[in-house]
């Protein structure tokens, strides 16, 4: 009897722990994918913010490049005017040819500067367009993030007290269960999306995977001489005397 009571007690503790953890699972289901969505959006918004900062820095560099090319063109134009004025004062062909050469070079400098200015302006326009797109996307994602955060916070405010209470009870419920069983319990919970590691036998079937439980196994489960797991899914199986002792007492 002592052995039977001990096994039955262990099964009862595991079943009670499962009920508590299942309530915690329901709260997580209520939150749904929101925590992950909020985290992903935060990463995306942070990435866009970094991209916008880089685009603005590149934009400034392009603006400086345009200003530099325009300045060089103005400088070359001023030199041409100065050289042309000096042409009126030359005294020999050598000076005239030298000034004419300088004017020709200055004109080439202007053409080169104008070409580089056009290229820099085209690049500048492209960067401005990229910045506008990035800022618009940032604004959209930020609004989406704010909305998701408000939605998640609303759920947290409604469930936080109950969730904290259940976590305390879950921790307390674990105290009386040996580590070997807890390890198996936790591993099984992680294996299945519904988090069920301890289930009842319903209509001769496992309450987790719904595969058939042979009559002999059902008999052994009811005897509480050892902890029995479903041969198909590995979940711990309990009978109604463990899961619903009150209802059995009422029937009696």
Instruction: Please report whether residue 170 resides in a domain.
Output: no
Same domain, 132 and 39: yes
Across the beta sheet with 198-202, what order do the strands follow? 205-206, 198-202, 236-238
Q: How far is CA 92 from CA 87, 99, 101, in A?
A: 10, 11, 15
Residues 182 and 122 grouped into a single domain: no
**Could you tell me if 236 and 202 lie in one domain?**
yes
Indicate if 90 and 60 belong to the same structural domain: yes
Distance of alpha carbon 205 from alpha carbon 213, whole angstroms: 5
One digit per residue, the tens of pLDDT, for the chain of length 252 reads 333 448 999 999 999 999 999 999 999 888 888 889 999 999 999 999 999 999 999 888 888 888 888 888 888 888 878 878 887 787 788 887 887 888 888 788 878 888 887 888 888 888 889 999 999 999 999 999 999 999 999 988 888 899 999 999 999 999 989 999 999 999 999 999 999 999 999 999 999 999 999 999 999 999 999 999 999 999 999 999 999 876 544 444
Same domain, 27 and 49: no
Dist CA 20 CA 238 (whole Å): 16
Last residue of a domain, one of 103, 133, 160: 160
The reply to whether 66 and 55 lie within a common domain is: yes
Within this chain, do residues 97 and 211 fall inside the same structural domain, yes or no? no
Q: Is residue 39 part of a domain?
A: yes
Q: Are residues 183 and 244 in the same domain?
A: yes
The answer on 39 and 27 residing in a single domain is no
Domain boundary, last residue among 107, 131, 160: 160
Residue 228 included in any domain:
yes
> Going by C-beta distance under 8 Å and a sequence separation of 6 or more, which residues neighbour residue 225?
3, 4, 7
Q: Are residues 23 and 38 in the same domain?
A: no
Residues 10 and 43 in one domain: no
| CATH number for position 49 | 1.10.287
For residue 229, list its beta bridge partners. 236
Structure confidence at residue 140 (pLDDT): 96
* Confidence at residue 252, expressed as pLDDT on a 0 to 100 scale: 40
What are the pLDDT digits (tens) for 178-226?
999 999 999 999 999 999 999 999 999 999 999 999 999 999 999 999 9
Would you say residue 167 lies in a domain? Answer: no
> What residues have CB less than 8 Å from 204, skipping those under 6 apart?
212, 213, 215, 218
Structurally, the chain folds into a number of domains equal to 2
Q: Is residue 111 part of a domain?
A: yes
Query: Is 156 in the same domain as 39?
Result: yes
Q: How far apart are CA 93 and CA 99, in angstroms?
A: 10
Containing 119, the helix (H) or strand (E) segment is helix 93-174
**To the nearest whole number, what is the mean pLDDT of the chain?**
88
Domain annotation covers residue 10 = yes
The pLDDT, as a whole number, for residue 194 is: 93
Would you say residue 118 lies in a domain?
A: yes
Q: Which domain holds residue 110?
A: 34-160
């Amino acid at each position: 009897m002592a052995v039977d009571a001990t096994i039955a007690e262990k099964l009862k503790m595991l079943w009670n722990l499962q009920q508590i953890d299942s309530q915690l699972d329901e709260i997580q289901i209520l939150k749904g994918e929101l925590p992950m969505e909020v985290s992903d959006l935060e990463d995306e918004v942070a990435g866009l913010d970094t991209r916008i900062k880089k685009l603005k820095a590149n934009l400034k560099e392009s603006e400086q490049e345009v200003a530099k090319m325009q300045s060089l063109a103005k400088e070359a134009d001023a030199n041409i005017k100065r050289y042309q004025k000096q042409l009126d004062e030359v005294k020999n062909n050598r000076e005239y040819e030298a000034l004419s050469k300088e004017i020709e070079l200055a004109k080439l400098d202007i053409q080169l500067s104008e070409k580089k200015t056009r290229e820099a302006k085209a690049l500048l326009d492209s960067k401005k367009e990229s910045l506008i797109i990035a800022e618009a996307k940032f604004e959209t994602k930020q609004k989406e993030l704010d909305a998701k955060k408000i939605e998640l916070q609303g759920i947290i405010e409604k469930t936080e007290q109950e969730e904290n209470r259940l976590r305390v009870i879950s921790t307390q419920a674990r105290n009386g269960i040996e580590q070997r069983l807890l390890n198996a319990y936790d591993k099984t919970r992680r294996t299945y999306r519904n988090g069920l590691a301890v289930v009842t036998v319903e209509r001769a079937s496992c309450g987790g995977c719904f595969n058939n439980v042979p009559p002999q196994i059902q008999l052994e489960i009811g005897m509480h001489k050892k902890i029995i797991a479903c041969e198909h899914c590995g979940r711990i199986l309990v009978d109604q005397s463990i899961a619903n002792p009150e209802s059995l007492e009422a029937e009696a």
